[in-house]
Amino acid sequence: MKPLALALLGSALMAQGPEFTADGKLMRPNYREWIYLSSGLGMTYSAEAKSEASFDNVFVSPAAYREFMATGRWPEKTMFVLEIRKASGHGSINQGGHFQSDLIAIEAEVKDSAKYSDKWAFYSFGDTPGKPGDTARMIPNGSVCQTCHGKNGAVENTFVQFYPTLIEVARKNGTLKANYEAPVPAPESHR
Ligand code: HEC
């Protein structure tokens, strides 16, 4: 292959994982072309905190997804994006249920054992509605992000228990954390 073709191929592959600016900020990828894992609707993590319902959409870098499907493990340079959008009720012909609308926030998570003391690092592209930044600084170690993900994620720091096509792969490969507790299904009357 000619050097130029190799360089182009290299940059195409690079774009499938985390990319950083010269001063170390994480660049917002074109994650809508990555692998979509699932959406949460109005998920809240404490009994009292009930904010307005929103959707969160989870995307993962394609190379990391393929490796996970084969081994149940996240390789180095795995990158996740959590896109949070408003849940709207009335609009156009819709009479019931919810659809996704305005962007609320974009968050990210990167695995790099050599670079981060906690292996995984968290980033937020900002929470200005509709205007997330193009770059994000790492959220310092010891954040609530790290505490909750580290304690409750089913595979390493990640919430594989909420991604229906991945949980079975982790189970089959024996990569679920020893202290992982499966979500308790709602009683019949709540379905
Ligand atoms: C109290 C627990 C909790 C805290 C605090 C928290 N998260 Fe999460 N996070 C979750 C859950 C649960 C999911 C799964 C969402 C779904 O199923 O749609 C998730 C998913 C994610 C994902 C998708 C990849 C994954 O790990 O499964 C990213 C990226 C993410 N969160 C970033 C952050 C960032 C950045 C912060 C801090 C600013 C943060 N989170 C704080 C519970 C938490």
CATH number at residue 37: 3.50.70.20
Domain extent for 25: 18-173
C-alpha 55/C-alpha 104 separation (Å) is 10
pLDDT of 109 > 70? The answer is yes
| C-beta atoms surrounding 149 within 10 Å | 18
pLDDT score, position 14: 47
pLDDT of 182 > 90? The answer is no
Q: What are phi and psi of 117, to 5 degrees?
A: -65, -25
For the segment 109-127, the average pLDDT, to the nearest whole number, is 93
> Could you tell me the pLDDT band of residue 3, with boundaries at 50, 70 and 90?
low
Is 106 contained in some domain?
yes
* Number of compact structural domains in the chain: 1
Mutation to probe ligand 1, out of 149, 155, 156, 162 (largest number of atoms < 8 A from CB): 149
The ligand 1 site (C-beta within 6 Å) comprises 38, 40, 43, 45, 56, 58, 80, 82, 107-109, 122, 124, 139, 143-145, 148-149, 153, 157-159, 162
101 contacts 86 by C-beta, under 8 angstroms: yes
Is 7 contained in some domain?
no
Q: How many residues are there in the chain? A: 191
Is 75 contained in some domain?
yes
Is 9 contained in some domain?
no
* Residue with token string 């991604």: 163
Mutation to probe ligand 1, out of 137, 159, 177 (largest number of atoms < 8 A from CB): 159
C-alpha 56/C-alpha 38 separation (Å) is 8
